[in-house]
Structure 1
Amino acid sequence: MKLIVGLGNPGKKYEDTRHNVGFHVIDQCAKNLNITLNQEKWKGLFGYETIGGEKVFLLKPLTYMNLSGEAVRPLIDFYKIEIDNVLVVYDDLDLPPGKIRLRQKGGHGGHNGIKSMLAHLGTENFKRIRVGIGRPEPGIAVANYVLSTFPPSEKQDVHESVQHAANACESWLSKDFLNVMNSFN
């Protein structure tokens, strides 16, 4: 079994914000893989299908970003998903819009959603796809920036990075993550 988690904030208010690119990647994966996100349980919205003989789960935590791990841990425990089979997709200030980076493990890098994941999973050994959202201009608070929408000049780059990240997720379903990293980084 594999689990792909996209981090974001629930609700219309946050739908198109920079912080929600993880949700957008999950939506694209759901479309590409024909998975319907129709189960709301354990503070998350998820769905799954059997692909290539393996159950593949897609999850959007409904806890708000800072508590994301609260939705992930119960699903992992109930379905007995190995941490090595968990991939988390989230926004990253250190990458420009349009860029993605895959990592096999790591710290939180100041990202509160990943801090929550680390706390609830008890390990940093889960796979990640970081989707670039860029840094704010001087004088703009990071909290305000991540909750802002992308300007028209960045929308095409972001759309392409969401597609690229979803393709990387799909590739991971049939390939070793190191190979996926080599192809997509």
Structure 2
Amino acid sequence: MNKFLIVGLGNIGAEYAHTRHNIGFDVVDALAEKHGVSFRTDRLGDVAEIKLKGKSLVLLKPSTYMNLSGKAVKYWMDKEKIPAEQVFVIVDELALPLEKSRIRGAGSDGGHNGLKSIQEQLGTTAYPRLRFGIGNNYPKGRQVDYVLGKWTSEEAPLIRMKIDKTIPIIESFVLAGLANTMNHFNNVEYKL
């Protein structure tokens, strides 16, 4: 059976719940909910499993905090014997507007500490990821407050819709492959 590791990046703790930086957690939570599975607390994270048309998806929300996400990703890749090309990381992206997401098969960490940690642990930048645009609508010097802040009431409906629309992207990655998924979804603009 083909196994995939679907990783939502975020920070544990109530104070980080549903912040921009935790969008990865929110996306994998929505995926688990759609498939009627619950997370269990395990080594270095909360884990759930989904079966999808003969494929097995291990969902992971690292409990290591963002800066050490790679530790959890590497542990679960090794434990489940999942190669880097069958890992899919969902991460917040300041450089993209709210209306956009970008799927890539490799690339730099773009200054994101979660991706930096994964890259260090795996020794490669070649692992698929979805960069979920969170915009950069913050005053100079307030990036940390913005990233760790909650969605505004104006943003929330679009974000809920975008989370729902991210689930088919993950399923497409598993069932149709990275190239097809990039071709199909990379130029989508999300509007209410």
Do these two structures clear the TM 0.5 threshold for a shared fold by scoring above it? yes
Q: 1:67: how far off?
A: 1.0
Please report how far the alpha carbon of residue 139 of structure 1 lies from its aligned counterpart in structure 2 after TM superposition.
Answer: 2.6
Partner of 2:190: none
Displacement after TM superposition at 1:140 (Å): 4.0
Aligned ranges 1:12-51 → 2 under 5 Å? 12-38=14-40, 40-51=41-52
Is the aligned partner of 1:89 residue 2:90?
yes
2:168 corresponds to: 167
Equivalent residue, structure 1, for 2:119:
118
Write the mapping of 1:133-172 to structure 2, written as runs, cut at 5 A: 133-172=134-173
Q: 1-side partners of 2:127 and 2:179: how far apart? A: 13
Distance 1:182 1:18 in 2: 26
Q: Could you tell me how far apart the structure 2 residues matched to 1:179 and 1:34 are?
A: 27
Q: Using structure 1 for the length normalisation, give the TM-score.
A: 0.94
- In the other structure, the counterpart of 2:100 is 99
Deviation at 1:128, TM superposition (A): 0.7
Distance change in 2, residues 1:140/1:154 (3 Å): farther
What stretches of structure 1 of length at least 5 have no aligned partner? none
Q: Is the 8 A contact 2:32 2:50 kept in 1?
A: no
Percent identity at matched positions? 40
CA distance, structure 2, for counterparts of residue 46 and residue 5 of structure 1: 10
**What letter is aligned with 1:170?**
E
Deviation track 1:32-57 (CA, whole Å, cap 9, x = no partner) reads: 2333212x222111111332222211
Q: Which residue of 1 aligns with 2:7?
A: 5
Secondary structure (helix, strand or coil) at the match of 1:153 reads coil
Aligned counterparts of 2:20 and 2:165: Cα–Cα separation in 1: 16
Count of residues paired in the alignment: 184
The one-letter amino acid of 1:173's match is: V
2: CA distance between counterparts of 1:54 and 1:166? 15
Aligned-partner Cα distance in 2 for 1:82–1:50: 18
The TM-score, its normalising length taken from structure 2, stands at 0.91
Deviations 1:143-164 (A, max 9, x none): 1111011111111121122112
Give the letter for the 2:23 counterpart: V
1:61 is aligned to: 62
Q: Is the 8 A contact 1:129 1:165 kept in 2?
A: no
